[in-house]
Amino acid sequence: DTEVTQTPKHLVMGMTNKKSLKCEQHMGHRAMYWYKQKAKKPPELMFVYSYEKLSINESVPSRFSPECPNSSLLNLHLHALQPEDSALYLCASSQVPAVSTDTQYFGPGTRLTVL
Amino acid sequence: GENVEQHPSTLSVQEGDSAVIKCTYSDSASNYFPWYKQELGKRPQLIIDIRSNVGEKKDQRIAVTLNKTAKHFSLHITETQPEDSAVYFCAALGAGGTSYGKLTFGQGTILTVHP
């Protein structure tokens, strides 16, 4: 089973709200990723977790706060977002972190709209 | 870091024709190259990948070729069908320096197959 799940599917929030995106995989993968994708653009890497530790932060603003509670779960906490943060947020996982031939599998994404 | 160029940005073919999408990459250390298909509103789905120890890989109507010397790889779809219509992204997984473990995507190709 190569399934990554994400909740919610859609989220609308105001600029003062606090919300969280959730991602789950039960494939025993030890690397998990957050990507942001704007319309008609490729996914852009935000964060990488390897063995539940944050290993890469692509200079993402602090209003995005990732968390990896265990090897199956990945959260993205959102606070004080801007309308330009509206996008599709994709989670991905791969089997072995920092291996240069490791396949990443994507979840269905959360469509975020910031009003 | 890694840079991936993808061409063409749009491709329109008649059902039954072949489609070819080409990508070049900059980091000679990269050795894993996946292709993702993304239908409107859905997740990027891995359709084929190639590792640098082979020059070509085929899966039914889809094939990928890799030329490591020239640093380019291509996706070939034969006998195209309307359901092949989607955005296709090539990617390269970094294997050196600050690109290590990061997936860099091309800008995408919008493929339209006309019945």
* pLDDT tens readout for residues B67-87: 999 999 999 999 999 999 999
The Cα of B100 is separated from the nearest Cα of chain A by a number of Å equal to 7
Distance from the Cα of residue A85 to its chain's centroid: 13
Contacts of A62 (CB under 8 A, 6+ apart): none
In B, which residues are within 8 Å of A48 by CB distance? Answer: 101-102
B101 CB near a chain A CB, below 8 Å? yes
Mean pLDDT in consecutive groups of 10 residues from the start of chain A, 115 residues = 88 93 94 94 94 92 96 96 96 80 90 96
The Cα of A112 is separated from the nearest Cα of chain B by a number of Å equal to 12
* Strand A104-106, strand A87-94: pairing: antiparallel
Instruction: Give the closest of A90, A97, A108 to B101, CB-based.
Output: A97
